[in-house]
Structure 1
Amino acid sequence: MKKIIVLFFAISLFSCKKEEVYGPLKLKDGQEVELLVDHRYGSDQDLLIKLPEKELAGASLVGFDQREIGYTYRVKARFHNDDNPPQDASSYSFIFTKIVSKEQYKGTESFDIQLITSYIPGGPVIRLSKTGNDYYFVPDKLQLTYANSTVQSQLEEIYQNVLEVRANWQKGQLPKWKAIKATVTHDPQKFGKAYLVQQIQFTP
């Protein structure tokens, strides 16, 4: 009789553990979900949405190396809970498994990207590089073209500050602005490879 009670207790504990849920969406570890991935890569609106509820997923998508800028995806992924995440990292993530659908964005609506990102540790970093005469938001992947000469001059001013910060990093030099917001659209001449910057807003 005692063995039966112990066995029942062990099974009950195991069942409870299997049913344990995590995160704001109360998902089980390993649970498969469908997610909506936005076409606005790296933008303020680049939010991962859980379907069909259309709720914020609340975690990052890992392993989606096939993602192309300018396309909206529906993907399958498995929720993962890490009991011992790295320092300053989230306990939750979604592991990409497969693409359900892929659709090219054909609109012209503008959206915003932030050219200064703060890291912990590390502090604020300007997300702008330059190869030849071309500016990049993501090196060798996502170029920033410009709608007019004013924007071109602003991008060059930002890049010169990148060089200043890089040359004086040991002195703790920071970017000269607290924030830089660029309003962009997909560049129709380089779709999927460049954002066309319409205007830039600096926060001193």
Structure 2
Amino acid sequence: MSPTLTLLPRGAWTARAEAHARRADALTAGHRERRAAGSSHAVEDFLYTYYPLRPAVLRRWSPGAGVALADAAGSPVASARWFTTEGDAVRLDGRAYLADRGGAVRHHATLLAAVADRPPVFSCFGLHEWAIVYREPAGAHRHALPLRLGEAGTDAVVERHQITCSHYDAFRFFTPEATGRNELRPTRELQVELDQPGCLHVGMDLVIRLGCTWHAEGPQPRV
């Protein structure tokens, strides 16, 4: 085993895994209860629809890179994709992971570096949320919550301001009528060039990228 690996005794890593599962269960309890009842909450369940986050995946614990788990052969971690067993110790096989996910890792690293090196812009004022419902057709509203200013008032806010949304995953939800009002034309290809640290959506994405390793079935949290 490489001397650069940190070896966690079984008692230590099982305690971490169990604590992580308890935290995940507590944080997702409301969502799981609503899902079982066939209902949803427009705000609290948003992340489960915007991101591919499933409670069963969120409760899986991963040691991350550079850590070996002692006496872990036969454990759930040992059978996880990209993990390898050496004797009774289990660790992430970095080469295997990068062989499959190297492109995504390089893209995320480039994006993170670009965003960190760019000054934040706060003057968009979150108006992408207003542009998403601008002149929305009747019956097209995505949730049951009423617009705070009503349809006419919301449209007036969009029309009185310059929309400067720079993030593609916000811009792509604009109504057709709002698209032409945006100062920029974000695309997936321009994401590294346009994303900036003052953007709410960029911050949300960075939490996902920094807090998760992308598992074959979705993000696998690291603690």
Under a length normalisation based on structure 1, what TM-score does the superposition of the two structures give? 0.28
> Quick one: higher RCO (CA 8 Å, sep 6+), 1 or 2?
2
Higher strand share: 1
Under a length normalisation based on structure 2, what TM-score does the superposition of the two structures give? 0.26
Higher helix share: 2
